[in-house]
Every structure is written in structure tokens, then in C-alpha cells.
Structure 1
Amino acid sequence: MISKKIGIVESIVDKSENLDDIRVNINGNIQKAYNYPKMSGNVNVGDEVILNTTAVELSLGTGGYHFVISNLNNIESNFTPGGHIMKLRYTPFQVKVDSVEEQESSYHSAIENFKSLDNMPVVVGTLHSMLTPFVASYKKNNPNKKLVYVMTDGAALPIFLSKNVETLKARKLIDSTITIGNAFGGDYECINIYTALITAKEVINADAVFVSMGPGIAGTGTKYGFTGIEQGPILDAVKKLGGMPIAVPRISFADMRERHNGISHHSMTVFNDIVNVSVNIPITVYKDKLIDTIKKQIKDSKLDKKHNVVYINNGKTKEDLDYFNLKVKSMGRNYEQDKEFFQAASTAAYYLMEVCNDRGKNY
């Protein structure tokens, strides 16, 4: 289940408070590794470290590098005060967080007295790579509105792994982050999606929320065997709490796998079989043959009978990304190689500007 080796820190390529990009010498081979200093301590050149080498040996894409388990030259560390909720529970890496819901939390009463999201718009994606194009388009057109990102535990658990989040926060394009389930490291820690959405409204006073997993979706090629299936229950939760559920469909014409051509079978499964409520699905008006393919998929599956499918003209995705000098990549493909995918996420931001919710906020 786990493969471990001992290596020597050869160099530190990049170092931050939350993530170190290092090179390690394993039996004479120099290889890439990541260290989370808040979990496994600080590392220095020459330190002897225990590494989890499983992902590299499996030749994985996202996550395909070693991770430091422990630094043999700096073994001991102390936890920070406050908080009693554990994430990564009952594992050697369980971490203590100060959860918003805890009775000792200053936010406890706000969570306890919650009534409704009051139609707050919540955009729910699947792949982590949907985050940047949505944020770029949303913030370019709504620079003064407060945007919150909720990261689920469907993929990477430490939010520190996401360079996207690091960049977007540094440029003040994401105002706050929330990590839920066993994901951790956000500005706010929550136990589940319900309290995360409540936190976004009652504690942070968000104008809009984007929800998705971190880097590293898992899929198996089977109908239900993918972590992005969480999109359905999350959309249900938004509706249950009185929010406006908006779904980003996974769309691509660059993926060579037939099941992901046009609207991915992942999205079709969620929209047809998993989500229990009617949701808003913005669809980009692509070039003729491409949009014809998508419209046929929607008609054949009767998707528009269950959900509010809205066609949006959006030719500004690349302009929005360039405005903030943001680069995107998904499944190894950049914007030019898979632009329809990134446009789908951006279009959700433009959909918000075409609707006026019950809170009187025009988007």
C-alpha cells in the first residue's frame, strides 16, 4: 500500500511557509520531492529524510513525486494552540485544526443560528483546473465582490499543494479559502460542505462561492467510479440551504477518450443520475459543429427537462486570463490546446452577470 525510501536533501528549489520543492538523492539518483514543513518539519540541504515514493513508482500524473514523511535530522515538532478537530483521523499524519463549528470557536453561534443562504450563488466544479478561469472572469468583472473558494477532500488534502490557490490568493483574486472533510490548510476549517457554505455566508459574507476538489481527480473509466461525482451532493446541499446552485460542466474536444468528448460522461452522470434538484448549467456558445454536438447530447439525455440549461456567449476567457497574467493547464493541456474546457468554467462567471438573485445583487 505504501512504498518508502530514505533520501538525502540535495537542494531546495523553492521554499515557502507551507510547501518546499526539493531534490533528493536516492541511491545516487536525484529526484523531485515535496515537503510540507507544517507537517514534517523544516528541511535543510544534507538532511536525511524518509520519503513516500508510491506515486512515482506508479508513474502517476498529478502527485507524481515523492513526499517527505519525516526528517530524521529534525524529528520533533509541536502543534499550534487551539482547536480539537482532527483531520486525516487515525493515521500517523492526523492533524489538529481549529474548526469553525467547535463550541469554543468564536464563529460557533453564527453557524448555530444560520437560517438560509438567501440565494447566494455557489458555482460547483469538478476538476481543480476549473478554478483559475472562473476566478479570472469573475474578478475582472466584479473586482470589489468577495469570492470564497471551498476545497473539498475529493483529491489533494493539503490546500498547500495547489499553486493555483497560492497564486490567486497572492493576487487577491480569492478573498478567503475553506477546506472541508479531511482537506486542510484553508483560512477556515470546516467539517463538511454544509457548514462551509454557512461559513462563507455568515462569517465571511461572500458574494459568490466556488467549490471544487484540489489537484488530482481520481477516475476509473466506470460510470460512478470517479471522485468528481461529489458535484451532485454538493449541488443538492446548496439548494437545501437556500443557495443558487450553478454547475460547471466538464467539456472538452481535445480529450482523445470518447467518453470525455463534448460534455464528459462524468458530467452527464452527475446531472442525470446523481443530483436530486434542478440546477443552473451555463453552456458556452461554441463554434457551430461543437455546439451542435453539445446540444445533441443535451437533447438526447433530456438534460434541459430536468435543469435550467442556459446558453451564454463568452469570447473573453483568454482576455480575462491575460488581464491577470494567469496561465492554465488541465490534464497536461494548456488554454490553446483545450480552450473549450477553460471557457466552460469562465462562462459560469458570465452567467452570474446575467442573473439577479433575491439578495438584490446584480451579477
Structure 2
Amino acid sequence: MLHWEKGRVLAELEGWAGVQRLLVQLDAPGAESVRALAYPELTGAIAEGETVLLNTNALRRGLGTGGDALVVARADPPHGAQPAPAGHMVKTRYTPMQTIVDAIDDPASPHYPVMRSAQSLERMPVVVADLHSSLPAIIAGIRAERPGARVAYVMTDSAALPAAYSRTVAALREADWIDACISAGQAFGGDLEAVSIHSALLGAHHVVRADVAIAIQGPGNLGTGTGWGFSGAAGIEALHAAHTLGGRPVAALRVSSGDARERHHGLSHHSATVLGAGVLAPVDLPLPAMPHSGFWLSVGEQLNNAVIVPAIERGVRHRIHRVSTSGLLESLHGAPVRLSTMGRGLEEDSESFLAAAAAGRHAAALLDAEGRSRD
């Protein structure tokens, strides 16, 4: 069930690309004013004084990610004709907010001839991670090794669906740390749209001409504490897609020294489950090379016991790569966005970001001097 409320827009607050932030006075007697998010791609641009219908589920439940009211509709439709996409690709299908987008794999797309003939990633490295918060750290690692590498971010659809919701992506695009964001599956609002994770990765290579692709869910990771009840399990499909299409799958390990939950301390059970029990193809596993660190020695043992051995028993041989951490902290400190994972910053949980940066550095090291992938 949706929690519906109605109100009048008092002011437009500072937003970011693809997102309007509004201050809305609720209609009920004595009701407060609330902050609300609107996606102009869905609603059109909203002006002060308009009456809007809100979904306040997340707001009333006090959720962290997504804890704002969301504009579902406006009392009056926007004035003037709205531009119509050339294609027929529908996302958030069969919901009241389904929207038509121009997808790179739609027959009406100018990229369709390229996408129709695209078959292989030609060994392009594809970094797959559990948490959206690891995205800037992965890119920091890529830039530490190969500053000029072209990077495409593929946003999967297991968490937030609007790519515009990510302020991280908006800031990384503005700083030229990402060359394109491709929203895959039911996710929408990236620079480019794709029907599937497979099409999105092919588009990263053949349309964006990226040297490295990064595939991660958007903000709003969902976990339940059960073995398989977490949205990051979608990383299995991304790693399989990279392998199937002839890419080089690289898994960014989720680790933490600051998470008080036992299942996430050291090597997270999310990484252990995805890589030890879920993935059916060999994957590169970058691990920071810090031989005198008790934390990383412990993570190495966890990785062997929870991932390497169970995978071998299933006939899958992952590859552990020890990655130099020289210069990675400096690159992380230079990120154009604040690094934060589960509320912890770089100082509180540096190991989390080092693991992600090591994956980025390893992916960049797989490229030759011209940016082409090599073994």
C-alpha cells in the first residue's frame, strides 16, 4: 500500500541533475511542511504554488535511503507539448509511473546498427561491486593506475531505479570521472538506456568506447540478514554477463573494519555468498597487498575459506590478485564526492574503500598502453 498525502509547493530547494527538491506544505489541518523529490523526466518540471500528490511511505517510516516524500503526480498536467522518445522502450513497466525512453538497443536508436552487431566485450574489464558507495572508490583506483581511462557506469535495477537519484553519479559525471551512466533493465534516467545488463555492457564497450565498465546497483541496497535476501545478489548476473560476453570479470570485495555486524565484519557474507556459492564462472579477486596487516591477513583467510575452497568444490577457480596500495589513499582523498558507506567515511572504514580501489587499480592494470584490454 502507498501512503498518499497532498500538498502545495512552497519553494524549490537546491537539487541536482535530473532531480527537483521541493518544500511542500501538506494539506491536512496543522500538517507540517516536508521535503519532496520530483523527477522531471516523469512529472515535468514543477513550479512553486502547484498542488502535488505525494507518496510518503519512506518518509513516514523514517528510512535513511529514500527517506523523502516523492512526487507522484501534479494536479494539472504540464503546459505545452512534451518531447516524445523516438523508440518504444518502456521502463518501470506496468506501474502507474511507467515511462518511455530511448534505449541504445531499440530499433529507433542511432546506436542500433552498432548494438545489433555487437557480440563481444573483447576482454574489457568489468568491475562488479555490492554497494553503490564503492563506485567513486573503484574509479579512484582506476585513475591511480590509468588517469586517462574511459569509464562507464552500468546501474543495475536491484535497488534505486532512477539513476538521477544518485548524487554521487551526478557529481562524478560533472567531474569527468565517469564518461557515461547506462541504466540497465528497469532502471532509467542514465545518459544511455539499455534493456538488459548484457546490452548495457556491450553499449559501454561499443557505444561509450569505455576502457573499463563498472556494474553496481543504485543507492538503496536492501539486506535482510538472511543468506540470500540481499539486493546485491544481482551482482551474480553482472559477473556472469561479463564472462558470457567475453569480458574480464573483476569482483570488488565488500569488506569492513568498522561494521559492528559480524556478518559484515572483515569479508562480508554478501561477497562470500555471491562468489563462493553463486558465481559459476572464474572471477578476478583483487586483494590489497598489505602482508603485515592483521586485518588483511584475516580477510585473506576468510576469502580462502568462504570463497576459494567452496568455489573449487563446484568446479570454479577464481583468481586472487595481490594489488599494491601505493598511492590509493591519496587517490581516494582526491575523490570529487564524500566517500561514505553505511554512514562511515574514509577515516572510519578505510579498508572498505581500499578494497574497492584495489579492484579499480587491478582492472586498469589489465589495459595496455592504448587502453585495450590485455591478459
Corresponding position of 2:285: 281
Say whether the 8 Å CA contact 2:124–2:373 is kept in structure 1: no
Within 5 Å, give how 1:167-186 maps onto structure 2.
167-186=171-190
Out of 293, 302, 310, the residue aligned to residue 321 of structure 2 is 310
Q: Gaps (5+ residues) in structure 1?
A: none
Out of 228, 250, 255, the residue aligned to residue 254 of structure 2 is 250
Within 5 Å, give how 1:131-280 maps onto structure 2.
131-280=135-284
Corresponding position of 2:21: 21
Corresponding position of 1:78: 82
2:220 and 2:372 map into 1 onto residues whose CA distance is 37
Deviation at 1:70, TM superposition (A): 1.3
SS in 2 for 1:189: strand
Say whether the 8 Å CA contact 1:50–1:71 is kept in structure 2: yes
1:93 and 1:299 map into 2 onto residues whose CA distance is 45
Say whether the 8 Å CA contact 1:150–1:196 is kept in structure 2: yes
Within 5 Å, give how 1:85-124 maps onto structure 2.
85-124=89-128
Residue 183 of structure 2 aligns to which amino acid in structure 1? Answer: T
- Residues 230-261 of structure 1, C-alpha deviations (whole Å, 9 max, x = no match): 11121111111110000011101111110001
Out of 334, 346, 356, the residue aligned to residue 357 of structure 2 is 346
Question: Cα distance 1:361–1:116, how it changes in 2: closer, same or farther (>3 A)?
Answer: closer
2:75 and 2:306 map into 1 onto residues whose CA distance is 57
Deviation at 1:10, TM superposition (A): 2.4
TM-score by length of 2: 0.91
Deviation at 1:45, TM superposition (A): 2.5
Deviation at 1:276, TM superposition (A): 0.4
2:148 and 2:235 map into 1 onto residues whose CA distance is 28
Corresponding position of 2:34: 31
1:296 and 1:246 map into 2 onto residues whose CA distance is 19
Say whether the 8 Å CA contact 1:147–1:208 is kept in structure 2: yes
1:164 and 1:340 map into 2 onto residues whose CA distance is 20
Deviation at 1:313, TM superposition (A): 2.6
TM-score by length of 1: 0.94
Corresponding position of 2:8: 8
Deviation at 1:100, TM superposition (A): 1.3
- Residues 136-178 of structure 1, C-alpha deviations (whole Å, 9 max, x = no match): 2323542322111100111111111011110011111101111
2:306 and 2:17 map into 1 onto residues whose CA distance is 48
Corresponding position of 1:50: 53
Corresponding position of 1:59: 62
Q: Give RMSD over aligned pairs.
A: 2.1
SS in 2 for 1:296: helix
Q: Gaps (5+ residues) in structure 2?
A: none
SS in 2 for 1:90: coil
Say whether the 8 Å CA contact 1:41–1:71 is kept in structure 2: no
1:289 and 1:283 map into 2 onto residues whose CA distance is 14
Deviation at 1:321, TM superposition (A): 3.0
Deviation at 1:325, TM superposition (A): 4.1
2:322 and 2:46 map into 1 onto residues whose CA distance is 51
Deviation at 1:332, TM superposition (A): 1.3
Aligned positions, number = 363
2:322 and 2:144 map into 1 onto residues whose CA distance is 21
- Please list every run of at least 4 consecutive aligned residues from structure 1 whose deviation after the TM superposition is greater than 6 angstroms: none
Higher relative contact order (CA 8 A, sep 6+): 2
Deviation at 1:22, TM superposition (A): 1.7
